[in-house]
Amino acid sequence: MTALRIEPARPCHAAVCSAVHEACFPEAERWTPDAFHALLGTPGALGWLSLDGDQPRGLILVRQAGDEAEILTLGVHPACRRQGLARALLDHAIAFLAQRAVEALFLEVSTTNGAALALYACCGFRSCGLRKRYYPDGSDAQVLRHDLTSVIL
């Protein structure tokens, strides 16, 4: 792996984002290039790509509304997992949002995704709800919240 960097994702990166997303998620949960293009072009949408040289390895997309934000998706290519890329993307987004005076960051994660649940717990997320049968496979979603007012910049 060469020097990893995190770069902003813009609407022109829609196809790259979609390709990374396709590698990370089951078919029923994948987003198309058109979906990424539309999302990244909306006010309040923010995204970042993790790159190894010129190769995209992961992505995170969030949506900010006032002093709250929501992680819409976070994924790392399966061949690059367990190397700290998801944590780097998450830390980057948290720091960016905290600088923008965002007070709370939310997300939904499958209750069957132990690795993601462990990552979010280590990063300061706490459970604040449950959405029954939220995902296409019928699994529940744990709703998590991170208080960004305690983030040290």
Active-site positions read 108, 120
The angle at the Cα of 101, spanning 95 to 106, to the nearest 5 degrees, equals 70
8 A C-beta contact, residue 108 and residue 84: no
Element (H, E) at 36: helix 33-40
The first and second tokens of residue 67, run together, are: 């002093």
Q: Are strands 104-110 and 141-147 parallel, antiparallel or unpaired?
A: antiparallel
Q: Are strands 126-131 and 68-76 parallel, antiparallel or unpaired?
A: unpaired
8 A C-beta contact, residue 92 and residue 6: yes
Helices (H) and strands (E) in the chain, counts: 4, 7
